[in-house]
Structure 1
Amino acid sequence: MAIPLALRDDYDSLELRRLARRSRHAGQSRRLLALAGIYDGASRGAAALLAGTDRQSIRDWVVRFNAEGPEGLVDRHGGGQKARLTAEMLAALKAHIEEGPIPAVHGVVRWRLCDLCGWLHETYGVTLSETRLGQIIRREGFRLLTARPRHYRQDTQAQDIFKKSSPMSLLRSGPDIPDNTLKSGGRTRHGSARKQS
């Protein structure tokens, strides 16, 4: 059986409990309390039960605590993938969007995401999916605005002439019904009794 690692001498269980109370990180507090139990004489197995973990994790916490102190017990996050677009690239992309395409040169009247992805790849060698680029563009405050589609053979003058020459009777719906017959239902028993008396 291997000899357990000893904890550093410059801390004790009271100090670790005090640090656990003041910590803003729940994971760090849990680890500090487990190590405080070890300072009080608890076995590594008992400390693992106290922390709700296994002995290997306790050993890893001891190694981190001995090397870095209480700061070594804070949760470590990788921070995610590094952003592919630098601030300079993002500024150039925004300027490129604001300038817009030249239809004769680019063959489009507005930028599509696939066009912008291609431009980024050609200019900076950065490859982004259309979905990710769309998220970045929306985060920067750009929105897709398109005109209402029109049929290519639509004749607005003919539409105006038709609207002007249409008789007003066609604009109303239904036959001409006098207003006094629009009431629904007939005379009620109570209504007729009141009128008779």
Structure 2
Amino acid sequence: MALAVIYDGGLRSDAGAVGGVTVQVIRDWVLRFNAKGPEGLIDLKKAGRRKKLDDSQRALLIDRVARGPYPSVDGVVRWRLKDLAAWILSEFGIAVDERTVSRELKSAGYRRLTARPQHPAQNEFAIEAFKKTSPTSWPNSADDLKTARR
């Protein structure tokens, strides 16, 4: 509507009042409209920062995660983000942060899973002895319940 006021010969201040924007915004709209037509008024997605890994590097990373580490070759028994970032640096020469690796894996459908920690000196027999046990026989009738409460 604001541009219609301009093309009818109105002032930019009047067009700004109609559109609820400042004169500077009206000026920008007019320049974009004159340069590209109505498509110039559509806000496009900003390009943003270029991704560090290209598609082939990303595919190699996903393949490596899917196959899992070989302890004798890779020196780890499970992949950590730190290990994958070090692998990317050695393989591609690209320094990435652990958050970047996490973001790449998340976009590929992977989720972070961790095992419940266990103390190295934990004794399984002590755990069994600590567990509460239920009574061996439950009362079957009201009379049994009365005698059990005494």
Q: Tell me the TM-score normalised to structure 2 length.
A: 0.73
Task: Indicate which of 59, 70, 77 corresponds to 2:45.
Answer: 77
Change (3 A) 1:148 1:118: same
**Equivalents in 2 of 1:119, 1:41: separation in Å?**
64
Paired amino acid for 1:109: V
Measure the CA separation in 1 of the matches of 2:44 and 2:55: 26
Cα-to-partner distance string for 1:119-176 (whole Å, 9 max, x where unaligned): 11221123332223223213323344555555556677xx5xxx8xx9xxx9443998
Percent same amino acid among aligned pairs? 40
Aligned to 2:93: 125
The yes-or-no answer on 1:182 pairing with 2:107 is no
Q: Distance in 2 between matches of 1:124 and 1:55?
A: 50
Give the direction of change, closer, same or farther, for the CA distance of 1:148–1:67 in structure 2 (3 Å limit): closer
Amino acid of the structure 1 residue aligned with 2:48: G
- Alpha carbons of 1:173 and 1:60: their partners in 2 closer, same or farther (altered >3 Å)? same
Structure of greater relative contact order (alpha carbons < 8 Å, 6+ residues apart): 1
Unaligned runs of 5+ in 2: none
**Counterpart residue type for residue 68 of structure 1:** K
Runs of 4+ in 1 over 3 A off after TM superposition: 143-156, 170-179
Against the structure 1 CA distance between its residues 63 and 139, is the aligned structure 2 distance closer, same or farther, given a 3 Å change threshold?
A: closer
Listed one character per residue, the Cα deviations across residues 9-41 of structure 1 (whole Å, up to 9, x for unaligned) are xxxxxxxxxxxxxxxxxxxxxxxx211111223
Alignment of 1:1-197 (within 5 A): 33-145=1-113, 149=117, 152=120, 171-173=133-135, 179=141, 180-182=143-145
Larger radius of gyration: 1
TM-score, normalising length from structure 1?
0.58
Corresponding residue number in structure 2 for 1:16: none
5+ residue gaps, structure 1, are: 1-32, 184-197
User: How many residue pairs end up in the alignment?
Assistant: 141
- Mapped to 1, the partners of 2:113 and 2:39 lie a distance apart of 50
